[in-house]
Amino acid sequence: MAINYHAEDRTITLHTRSSTYQMQIAGTGHVLHLYYGHRVDGMCLDYLHILTDCGFSPNSYENRLRREVSPDILPLEYSAAGCGDYRVPALECMSDAGLVGADLRYVRHEITDGKYALPGLPAAFAEAGEAQTLSLILADAATGLEVELLYGVFEAADVITRAAVFRNNGDAAIRLDRASSLCLDIPFGTGPSGGCWDLLHLHGRHCMERMPERVRLMHGIQTLGSRRGASSHHNNPFAVLMASDAGETCGECIGIMPVYSGNHRTDIELNQAGSVRVVSGIGGDLFAWQLDPGDCFFAPEVILCRTGEGLERLTHLCHDFLNRHVIRSPWKDKKRPLLINSWEAMTCDFNAEKVLKFAEEAAALGIEMVVLDDGWFGARDDDNAGLGDWFANERKLPGGLKPLSDAIHGLGMKFGLWVEPEMVNEDSSLYRTHPDWVLAVPGRKPVMARNQLVLDMGRSEVVAYLYDVISTLIQENGIDYIKWDMNRNIADTFSAALPPHRQMEVSHRYMLGVYALLDRLTREFPEVLFENCAGGGGRFDAGMLYYTPQIWCSDDTDAIERLTIQMGTAVGYPVGTMGAHVSACPNQQTGRTTPFGTRAIVAMSGTFGYELDPAHLSEEERRQVRVWNERYYRFYDLIHRGKYYRLTGIDRQVDYAAWAYVREDGSQALVNLVVTRAHANTHGFHIHLRGLNAQARYRLAEQVIEGCEAPDGTYLGGMDLTGRVFTGASLMIAGFTLRPMRGDAPAAQLLFEQTDAEEM
Ligand code: DGJ
């Protein structure tokens, strides 16, 4: 059993393959958090906590004569403001009777087989036998607020999911001001590093998403979050607590990943006692929810996982878990079509003839799907008009989308379409017909971004309208793929459909509407591949991955910039979820020119596709397209199902980036290296592989070197090791060196294969 209750010491223990999570119901009804760490079987771990009298840390009434017992110091399983715990609370609330906060005490618990679900929200799922659920109910006697803590224990996957349900069993309404799903207290001194922790998080901006940053925890509270109405380019919801001595292949790492795409918030507090509290879930400061008597509120899920084996292992746990238990699209196991997207080639400036020519050129290169991006609908000639009018612009596309779709299908290609359902331009018939459908504060001019407004997705009639429009588009035009964009953040969080006291619910109701629409469309059209996008990767999160198996990683398609963006993203999210394309050079965002092969190697580390005009390719580039298409398909399984290894780590102090995909059984490794800064008189690039079978023998089956000038005509970088046989141990422990490569951003791709040969 993954979950056990031990009646004698009143402990509840959750076991995953390598971890133990334990809590204890104290005599006062407080639920204490005892332990989350490496697996320890058959032990009550309450001895870990030393009680000390701590000045200015108060006591519950029952413990008024036991000053060493304070809710401000005790590790608590879940804590609310107002109960004598001054650390960052997981719950903040106020009842209509004026009662602030809650004093949560144990009521009951239940252990069931299977994984709980959260109505209207994305959440991890399990097949029979893969998960168990603990439901732990706490309540505040004064207000009648009940908090049900949900734990999904995925033993084999080594993951615990957390969620919380809030029920008002009292007589007065209760306003939830903060309703987090996860509270995790890590007591002082526990953990192999003696309790010193770093925080690894993914910050960024548009065109530079998910930059990894590792900082030492300081005393006080560090907050990661978004108040933009989207999980954001700026602070991705995924974060990792790393023991200060943890690295890529060693040490304690705890991953926290909200399964939510709206305003989120994670607070990490290092407190007076040297203990750490993590509180994570739905965003606090732009959120409140009115719970009338009898109502309940489901807070979004947070995935929790840990390892004592370093960041690499944590990455593998997250990748496997998202692939297996979060991404639900049937497309996750299918080969994604090799696509070409029209955006960088044409923006909104096209007509049917131009698109067809684009498709024909692409078909001749072996590309399988044309995606018609922004500009095909309404009065859309630039980004100032037309959003909301999801019918074809007849001036550009006479007869609508159908003739174009037919012609593209006639070329043996698939046809994909861009939409931005959540948005509207003032200059559109949708806005002229339904001006009240947008989020806008009465009496104030709306905050504009990209000259567009945001639809009130919390309104069921808006969602129903969008469902009709998009499902008709798909059906009538045989659409094979939808790119679902969202190009601004939300500012005017006021809904004309809600009373004043519910206005703080707008952002969450918005997300529930987006999820409802995505849920319906993706269920109804399982054969359509959905790619999520929000001005690049502004909503790259586990919530979106539940519905859409891939997400456009960034509007920055420069190969060198993408190295950091994709490496940062892949700390938590699987490689196969990252939309990545080869674009034209000089790159539209940076002006940089990189070799074609370098761009292809980087884009192969994602869903792969093109973002250029094939008519502008030289003969040599056309040859390269064919070569890289073939390589992408040949290595598709290795990249999408193999294990991903960062060979140069996350703190890219070196002037090259290297990473590898290794088949699960260790029999094949595809090694990639890109030189990001050229130096004179260098001595090559040393790499240690990982994930191979130490005793097995390997040969260098292939090596491709791109964009490298031969300094004296005698070699072209790479390895001069043809014919050598290595052991897995030699490649992993001693490593190997690639010779220096000259040129702007040269790259190498090497394939090692296990062999029976002694020598070659
Ligand atoms: C932002 C996306 O990230 C781009 O790829 C493109 O679809 C534009 N929007 C279109 O407006």
What integer pLDDT is reported at residue 190 of this predicted model? 60
What is the CB neighbour count within 10 angstroms for residue 307?
Answer: 23
Low-confidence winner among 289-293, 309-313, 571-575, 739-743 (lowest mean pLDDT)? 739-743
30 touches 105 (CB < 8 A): yes
d(CA 352, CA 395): 9
Residue 350 Cα, ligand 1 centroid: separation in angstroms? Answer: 15
More confident call, 720 vs 23? 23
pLDDT at 192 over 80: no
Per-residue pLDDT averaged across 647-675, rounded? 91
- For the entire predicted model, the pTM comes to 0.97
Amino acid sitting at position 149: L
The region, left, alpha or beta by phi > 0 then psi within -120 to 50, assigned to residue 393 is beta
Q: What is the pLDDT of residues 41-90, one digit of tens each?
A: 999 999 998 899 999 999 999 999 999 999 999 999 999 999 999 999 99
What pLDDT sits at residue 188? 74
From the list 56, 457, 481, 419, the residue with the least C-alpha distance to 230 is 457
Residue 455 makes CB contacts below 8 A (sequence gap 6+) with 388, 421, 422, 423, 424, 437, 438, 439, 462, 466
pLDDT digits (tens, 9 = 90+) for 262-281: 999 999 999 998 899 999 99
- Segment 561-600, tens digit of pLDDT: 999 999 999 999 999 999 999 999 999 999 999 999 999 9
Pairing of strands 481-484, 529-532: parallel
Supply φ then ψ for residue 673, to 5 degrees: -145, 130
Yes or no: say if 190 and 213 are a contact pair by the CB < 8 Å rule: no
State the helix-helix crossing angle for 460-477 and 506-524, rounded to 10 degrees.
30
Task: State the pLDDT at residue 286.
Answer: 87
Q: Which atom of ligand 1 is nearest to the CA of 555?
A: 3
Query: In whole angstroms, what is the distance from residue 33 CA to residue 46 CA?
Result: 9
Pocket probe mutation, ligand 1, options 233, 343, 612, max atoms within 8 Å of Cβ: 343
- Tokens 């079509």 correspond to 337
Structure tokens at 335: 């080969």
Q: Whose CA is nearest to atom 2 of ligand 1?
A: 535
Identify whether 368 is a catalytic site residue. no
Distance, CA of 157 to CA of 124 (rounded, Å): 12
pLDDT of residue 717: 64
Of the ranges 101-115, 643-657, 669-683, which is most confident?
101-115
Mean pLDDT of the chain: 95
Say if residues 370 and 343 touch (Cβ distance below 8 Å): no
Q: Ligand 1: which of 418, 422, 551 to mutate, judged by most atoms within 8 Å of the beta carbon?
A: 418
Nearest CA to ligand 1 atom 10: 374
Residues 344 and 590 sit within 8 Å (Cβ to Cβ): no
**Is 422 a residue of the active site?**
no
Q: Is pLDDT of 323 > 60?
A: yes
Fill in the amino acid letter for 481: Y
Ligand 1 mean position, distance from CA 386 (Å): 15
Task: Quick: pLDDT tens for 519-553.
Answer: 999 999 999 999 999 999 999 999 999 999 999 99
Q: Which whole number is the average pLDDT over 493-508?
A: 98
Q: Which atom, in ligand 1's list, is nearest to the CA of 341?
A: 5
**d(Cα 570, Cα 458) in Å, to the nearest integer?**
32
Q: What percentage of residues in the chain have a pLDDT greater than 90?
A: 92
Q: Cβ atoms within 10 A of the Cβ of 633, count?
A: 13
Which amino acid appears at position 383 of this protein?
Answer: D
pLDDT grade for 310, boundaries at 50, 70 and 90: very high
Q: Are 372 and 481 in contact (CB under 8 A)?
A: no
Ligand 1 atom with the shortest distance to the CA of 418: 7
Place of tokens 């806005």: 431
Closest ligand 1 atom, CA of 536?
Answer: 3
In DSSP terms, 350 is beta-bridged to none
**Residue ranges around ligand 1 (CB below 6 Å):** 343, 373-374, 418, 485, 487, 533, 535-536, 552, 555
| Cα distances (Å, whole numbers) of residue 13 to 184, 187, 371 | 15, 17, 50
H helices of 525-662, where? 542-547, 559-569, 596-604, 619-634, 636-641
pLDDT in tens, 113-129: 999 999 999 999 999 99
Residues, the chain: 760
Confidence of residue 382 (pLDDT cuts 50, 70, 90): very high
pLDDT digit string, tens, across residues 735-756: 999 888 889 999 999 999 999 8
List pLDDT tens digits, range 689-700: 999 999 999 999
Q: Which atom of ligand 1 is nearest to the CA of 373?
A: 7
Query: In whole angstroms, how far apart are CA 318 and each of 46, 253, 306, 563?
Result: 29, 12, 10, 20
State the distance from the centre of ligand 1 to the C-alpha of 324, rounded, in angstroms.
29
For residue 421, how far is its CA from the centre of ligand 1 (angstroms)?
13
Which residue, among 392, 403, 387, 391, has the nearest Cα to 438 in the 3D structure?
387
Whether the CB-CB separation of 485 and 533 falls below 8 Å is answered with: yes
Question: What DSSP element (H or E) covers 401?
Answer: helix 401-410
Return d(Cα 197, Cα 113) in angstroms, integer. Answer: 34
pLDDT recorded at residue 1: 85
- Residue 404's pLDDT is what? 98
For residue 177, is it left (φ>0), alpha (ψ between -120 and 50) or beta? Answer: alpha
Concatenate the DSSP letters of all residues of 294-319 into one string. Answer: T-EEEEEEEEEEEESBHHHHHHHHHH
Distance (Å) from CA 485 to ligand 1 centroid: 7
Ligand 1 centre distance from Cα of residue 618 (Å) = 26
Residues 6+ apart with CB under 8 A from 30: 60, 71, 74, 76, 105, 106
Query: Which residue in the list 113, 381, 621, 744 is annotated as catalytic?
Result: 621
pLDDT beyond 90 at 664: yes
List for the chain the helix, strand, coil content (%; round to 5): 20, 35, 45
Contact 250, 218 (CB under 8 A): no
Q: How many CB atoms lie within 10 A of CB 447?
A: 15
Tokens of 351: 């007509």
pLDDT exceeds 70 at position 656: yes
pLDDT of 191 over the 70 cut: no
Contacts of 47 (CB under 8 A, 6+ apart): none
pLDDT by residue (tens digit) across 432-452? 999 999 999 999 999 999 999
Contact between residue 30 and residue 60 where contact means Cβ atoms under 8 Å apart: yes
Residue 198 β-bridge partners: 216, 242
Residue 745 · residue 560 · CB < 8 Å: yes
How high is the pLDDT of residue 678? 87
Q: Is residue 736 within a helix (H) or strand (E), and if so which, with residue range? A: strand 736-738
Catalytic residue among 541, 555, 556, 611: 541
- Residue-wise pLDDT for 225-266, tens only, equals 999 999 999 999 999 999 999 999 999 999 999 999 999 999
Mean pLDDT confidence for 80-102: 97
Both tokens of residue 591? 């002006």
pLDDT for the residue 588: 97
Side-chain-facing half-sphere of 684: CA atoms under 13 Å = 13
Distance of CA 62 to the CA centre of its chain: 44
DSSP string, 430-486: HHHH-GGGB---TTSPPPPBTTBEEB-TTSHHHHHHHHHHHHHHHHHHT--EEEE--
Mean pLDDT of 295-319: 98
